[in-house]
Structure 1
């Protein structure tokens, strides 16, 4: 009996596992059906939208072409009317002159006949008067009538190749693509922002520029955030935990029009934006507290971040918006603690770069040096944890692989800390007023 109970329990457990596996299988299939339905919906909706776009565009083209042809026809007919009127006018003037001469000749003929037929007593006088009148008319002077080759003969010159050229343009106008040439490849959250990366999916499409747009989940309107040749962009000043939708288009080499938009992708950031600490007399901050300006207040010291918001695996970027005189004590970098009483990050438990390009680790200057910092310079810090021996973990040590980049150069080194550290502060110190730095 015990063996039967054990066998029954085993069969029951196996049945439960089979039921659970069947439920999971059904759930997976239902998710795939949902994915298929979404794919079918995308195809149907995009096809319908494309049809409407094509119909509207060709309708607009027809109206525009008919309007342009009618305007051109009207202009050519007006030109025909103008030439006709200008060419006819001299002929009308000549006709009036000839008709006047014919009337004068008729009058002269009647006077001549009357002079010949009058009585003998009046004949000499009438004949004399007639002769004088005939001499005054100058019967040997005739108006010149232009020959047919001298007057206008209107015609229309219509280039038959125009129709062929228009036909060639029409038959090749417009294309239908199953996929946009560019798609968003990756959306990575950053403090107060999203790093958007995209790529070409059509190898035959030669992209000259890209155009990235985004919209908040509460908005129906997309806005441009980037136009240029790069294939990634860091969208900043985003509200945490709010969905943003992104799409990207491309412009072909030598073309003016933009390609169709990529399939919109949604992302949000859970990371709070990097901010400088407020209340330091030596620095003025922007409204978002991500830009610090060294003012002319004589107060000195290190301006730290509001909180330790830099985590390993991220990229911390400083962009110099304004520069001033160099000083070897100047510093931009990260540190474990926001210690007061120091005028520079060139101290223990900190790594930094000076404005002259010198790199300091725990207060010691490295042999390798980066380019001098000036307006427009960008300095980036990248850190990742390096595996240590078990004994090092027991001692509470932490080893970070640090990469500092500036200009087209970078330095890489290992930074050993005597205690675990989940996040770091960032900071800066400038001696001369006028230095302005943006952090993101």
Structure 2
């Protein structure tokens, strides 16, 4: 009987645990539904507000443009009127002056005719002379109506049709943005953002990526505009939440599409930094850019990272932004330690590529060679753990090695892949560079 009770108790416990898990899963789905409903309603409110604001601005701008055009046309009418009326008013003044002279002459003539015989001769003589002086047979010319302006307004009703057509196609509403963020991968002091099109009918010419610190408030800032579908955002503070969003611009269009749903991400990895205080090198404020500053022979022209911040599974990148004279000891490397009493990175416990493209593993040069490192070169190191057990491949050089890393070094459009054997497992690695002559400048990320 006790066995049956124990079985029932066990089944009851399992059922209770299953019910708890079931309830927890349902609660998570309810939370997901709440977030989805909030997104739909919130984005709908934002879309309504954006449409109202946009069309209010358009209406105000249209009224302003029409008012400005009306003022220009009315000013043209005023100018034509003023220019055309002036000579007519001058002619009118001349005619009115002639009418006045004629009236005076008529009164004088009538008076001369009514005067007595003693004054008649003098009055008539004076009248005759005055009449001859006025030139009664000379009349001013009055322009015909066809020769003076007839001001009119030419109104093209087709503008309304064009406006109706353009307004009918202006703006649009979509339920989903044409591009969405696909993946966020943390990088030392940064975040690799990948995105993809979700609308196959949308022909994207450019993409635009923005980010901001924090999930509420703050302004987004542009960090990338181009044709690629991924971008490494650098200079992010570790353990700080950042929001990322992306949009696209269609072929032959000037306006950008709606923004994707913002995605939050946090990098827990400290940024790669060069070690400060190394003779012969000048560092940027963030210590991710180093420049070989002088040609004074240094006891050790090697610059290491400030800490072992490179982990397997990551991509370490060096970008050369300035180049100087080369030397056979110049190199870029990943190493187990930061030995300061040596003069070359082509040593044990290190893998490196020299500026002439030669690759060294634990101080031994490989037969494969990469393109030479020069201005604009980008060199990458990728590593993954292959084996944590003793390696026995009848190679005397491998005696004692019990840790193997698969290393890929890329430069230009070529890469080499090899196994790096170490005596003990390592969790993190240093990186370094060595330049004998000044003029070299490189960014690490």
Q: How far does residue 250 in structure 1 lie from its aligned partner after superposition?
A: 2.4
CA RMSD of aligned residues (A): 2.3
Query: Which position in structure 1 is the counterpart of 2:145?
Result: 148
Does the C-alpha gap of structure 1 residues 130 and 367 become closer, same or farther in structure 2, counting only changes over 3 Å? Answer: same
Aligned pairs for 1:359-438 (under 5 A) are 359-386=359-386, 392=392, 397-438=402-443
Contact residue 344 and residue 428 of structure 1 kept, 8 A: no
Deviates more, 1:30-39 or 1:13-22: 13-22
Matched with 1:299 is 298
How far the C-alpha of 1:387 sits from its partner, in A, is 5.2
Question: Which residue does the alignment assign to 2:258?
Answer: 260
In 1, Cα distance between the equivalents of 2:102 and 2:307? 117
Map Cα deviations across residues 60-99 of structure 1 (whole Å, 9 max, x no partner). 2222222222222233223222221221121111112112
Give matches, 1:10-409, under 5 Å. 10-217=7-214, 220-296=218-294, 297-301=296-300, 302-386=302-386, 392=392, 397-409=402-414
Equivalent residues of 1:300, 1:431 under 8 A apart: no
**Structure 2: how far apart are the matches of 1:340 and 1:57?**
63
12-21 vs 120-129, which moves further: 120-129
Deviation, 1:130, is 2.7
Aligned residues: 437
Q: Over residues 31-76 of structure 1, what are the superposed CA-to-partner deviations in whole Å (9 max), with x where a residue is unaligned?
A: 1111011101110111111111111221222222222222222332
Q: CA deviation at 1:388?
A: 8.1
Deviation at 1:402? 1.8
What is the SS of the residue equivalent to 1:202?
Answer: coil
TM-aligned CA distance change 1:203 to 1:313, over 3 Å: same
Describe the superposition over 1:337-367 as per-residue Cα deviations: whole angstroms up to 9, x where unpaired.
3233322211223211111222222222223
Mark the CA change 1:111 to 1:279 in structure 2 (over 3 Å): closer, same or farther.
Answer: closer
Q: Give the 3-state SS of the residue equivalent to 1:298 in structure 2.
A: coil
- TM-score in terms of structure 2 length: 0.91
Q: How far is the alpha carbon of 1:133 from its aligned partner? A: 2.1
CA apart distance, 1:191 = 1.2
Q: Secondary structure at the match of 2:333?
A: strand
CA distance in 1, matches of 2:403, 2:267: 28
Give the distance between the partners of 1:120 and 1:306, measured in 2 at CA.
Answer: 135
Unaligned segments of structure 2, at least 5 residues: 394-398
C-alpha separation in 2, matches of 1:221 and 1:352:
42
